Amino acid sequence: MITPSMVGAWTLFKKELLRFWKVSFQTVAAPVITALLYLLIFSHVLGSHVEIYPGVDYTVFLIPGLIMMSLLQNAFANSSSSLIQSKVMGNIIFILITPISYLEFFLAFLAASIIRGVCVGFCIYLVSTLFIDLPLEHPWIILAFAFLGSAMLGAFGIIAGLWAEKFDQMAAFQNFVIMPLSFLSGVFYSIHSLPPFWQKVSHLNPFFYMIDGFRFGFFGVGDISPWLSLSIVVFSLLVLSIITILMLRAGYKLRG
């Protein structure tokens, strides 16, 4: 039941859901098609030549990484794009004048980002199962990393949306931060195939832990312990959430 104190947060959450669902072909269908194109190209080129884990076909190995990469990118895009659009168009004022606390603001945007990220990931999973049988060794680990990962990128998206003042700044953030971290996180390869120096560099990438832990849920094997990955993801989520809440509390680049 929605109490009077929750009406503002619930309304903002519904507004954010409707915002991306109204253009679902762009926000949900397009990422699914993009992931399938990656799958088609990489599985065709490398499928018969590469085996990452014993008994695991490369195409099967690839799917969890693509699911998680798309989930993370779309969770980030949901909160960041909403904020930058509202700021540039000037309608952010209609949210700021309402009696919504900064914590409610944070939770509404975060929840909507989680919904979009998980929705995209689930759609990619469903379409993939039409062609390939995917094992599910630890479903609860898959769900944990999916929700924690989308929450982490949702908070990151709020930070980016607060920081950016123009669309090109947001585009630069996506192109030079989110995209490199996504593609260099082990989506298309195991970090054990890298030279020792680059393996150490990969361990500095928080996206690696989310993708490796998520993949462990499917196969029961990974490059590192899923408990270590889970701990790092939870810690990163807490740090980003605290930073985001402090920025919202201060009205960073929201108040004139």
Dihedral-angle region of residue 80 (phi above 0 means left; psi in -120 to 50 means alpha; beta otherwise): alpha
d(Cα 207, Cα 185) in Å, to the nearest integer? 6
Judged against a pLDDT cut of 60, whether residue 256 lies above it is answered with no
Judged against a pLDDT cut of 70, whether residue 240 lies above it is answered with yes
Judged against a pLDDT cut of 60, whether residue 4 lies above it is answered with no
**Which comes out higher in pLDDT, residue 243 or 199?**
243
Which pair of tokens denotes residue 58? 């490369």
Query: Is there a contact between 161 and 83 (Cβ–Cβ < 8 Å)?
Result: yes
Q: State the SS3 of the chain.
A: CCCHHHHHHHHHHHHHHHHHHCCHHHHHHHHHHHHHHHHHHHHHHHCCCCCCCCCCCHHHHHHHHHHHHHHHHHHHHHHHHHHHHHHHHCCCHHHHCCCCCHHHHHHHHHHHHHHHHHHHHHHHHHHHHCCCCCCCCCHHHHHHHHHHHHHHHHHHHHHHHHHCCCHHHHHHHHHHHHHHHHHCCCCCCCHHHCCHHHHHHHCCCHHHHHHHHHHHHHHCCCCCCHHHHHHHHHHHHHHHHHHHHHHHHHCCCCCC
Judged against a pLDDT cut of 80, whether residue 49 lies above it is answered with no
The confidence band for 237, taking pLDDT boundaries of 50, 70 and 90, is: very high
Rounded to the nearest integer, the mean pLDDT of the chain is 88
Q: What is the pLDDT of residue 103?
A: 92
Judged against a pLDDT cut of 90, whether residue 219 lies above it is answered with no
Q: What is the pLDDT of residue 110?
A: 96
Over residues 71-89, mean pLDDT: 93
Q: What is the pLDDT of residue 83?
A: 93
Judged against a pLDDT cut of 70, whether residue 155 lies above it is answered with yes
Domain boundaries, given as residue ranges, for the chain: 27-250
Q: Which of 3-12, 89-98, 195-204, 225-234 has the lowest mean pLDDT?
A: 3-12
Judged against a pLDDT cut of 80, whether residue 93 lies above it is answered with yes
What are the tens digits of pLDDT across the range 112-152? Answer: 999 999 999 999 999 988 888 888 889 999 999 999 999 99
Over residues 36-50, mean pLDDT: 72
Please say whether the dihedral angle defined by the alpha carbons of residues 124, 130, 136 and 139, taken in this order, is positive or negative.
positive
Q: Please give the model's pTM, rounded to 2 decimal places.
A: 0.92
Q: How many CB atoms lie within 10 A of CB 172?
A: 12
Judged against a pLDDT cut of 60, whether residue 28 lies above it is answered with yes
Q: Which of 35-49, 74-88, 89-103 has the lowest mean pLDDT?
A: 35-49
Instruction: Name the phi and psi angles at 92, rounded to 5.
Output: -65, -25
